[in-house]
Amino acid sequence: MDTPGRAWLWRSWRMMTPTITRWAVPSVHDPALALTGRDGPVLATPNLRVHALPLGVSNAYLVESAQGVILVDAGLPLCEEIILARLAALGRNDLQLIVITHAHVDHYGSAAAVRRATGAAIAVHHADAADMAAGRTRLGSIRAWGWTQPTLPLMEPLLRVEPTDADLLLNEGPLPGALGLDARIVHLPGHTPGSCALLVEGQYAFIGDLISTNGAAHVQRSYAQDWRQVAASVEKLRGCRPAQSFPGHGPAGLTGATLAKLALDGPARRAACQNMA
Ligand SMILES: [Zn+2]
Ligand SMILES: [Zn+2]
């Protein structure tokens, strides 16, 4: 377990990150799409409510149905108290499933702690399960230099990444145990081999790190294990025509119209052009 000093330093870094990001990369989004600074759900339909959990560096989401709650991603280590506090504030003690969009520590870091506290099962695509079980984060090629890149190596020794076994291995297709929701896994490899979106009611997509809304909405341009697959996965997601997408990073959601016209960027664009040549 982390010592109090280590945990304090780590939490401080995590809390500072969104403030510095907001200062360095001002939001350019419609306030109606904001994921932060909202008390209520960011989406409510007759079948479900979605709550955004900005967890410092990355976002997680709670998807409530009448039959239970699904957590999409679980943030860095030591985010479990934020997740559990939100569940308590919603009066829900029936978290059933934790869907991890991909095996990077900023998405599965607190999953094991949340599982211990709630009994919820952890699900990840089978292609990313071994990395998560080993507590690994494979970043692939690094192309961009945001402020986290120079500071993260300084903070990494403070991190204790818990190796996290999945209870459920996911494949493309219907999500098992979807609590009465029409929920599908859409395999979107590239950022990692097992990157996935969770598509709910055919309209709402939780897209992990394929697209970020830090600054202007943009396709992944920093980390990938296969840039050609990133380009293909953007096309695949567009083909699903989600009305609204919820990213793993960034202060805002993404409309279907923005997704439809989003240009490929940087290494993904170069890889797509090479593919066509
Ligand atoms: Zn990632
Ligand atoms: Zn991420």
pLDDT in tens, 42-57: 999 999 999 999 998 8
Report which of 159, 76, 162 is spatially closest to residue 116, judged by C-alpha positions.
162
pLDDT value, residue 58: 92
CA of 191 to the centre of ligand 2 (A): 10
Q: What residues does the ion ligand 2 have nearby, CB within 5 Å?
A: 58, 106, 209, 248
**Is it the case that residue 39 has pLDDT exceeding 70?**
yes
- CA dist list (Å): 118 to 19, 79, 191: 30, 14, 29
Average pLDDT of 186-204? 97
- Higher model confidence: residue 60 or residue 28? 60
- What ligand is nearest to the CA atom of residue 194? 1
CA of 121 to the centre of ligand 1 (A): 21
**Is it the case that residue 2 has pLDDT exceeding 60?**
no
CA of 9 to the centre of ligand 1 (A): 23
Q: Are 262 and 269 in contact (CB under 8 A)?
A: no
**Is it the case that residue 148 has pLDDT exceeding 80?**
no
- What ligand is nearest to the CA atom of residue 190? 1
Query: Phi and psi at residue 112, in whole multiples of 5°?
Result: -65, -40
pTM score over 0.85: yes
- 121's enclosing H/E stretch is strand 121-125
Neighbours of 276 (CB within 10 A): 6
pLDDT value, residue 149: 61
Q: What is the CATH number of the domain that holds 18?
A: 3.60.15.10
DSSP 190-251: SSSTT-EEEEETTTEEE-TTSEE-SSS-EE--SEES-HHHHHHHHHHHHHH--SEEE-SSSS
- Higher model confidence: residue 179 or residue 19? 179
**What percent of the chain is modeled with pLDDT above 70?**
88
The structural domain count of the chain equals 1
CA of 46 to the centre of ligand 2 (A): 30
- Domain holding 77, by residue range, is 4-276
Q: Are 205 and 186 in contact (CB under 8 A)?
A: yes
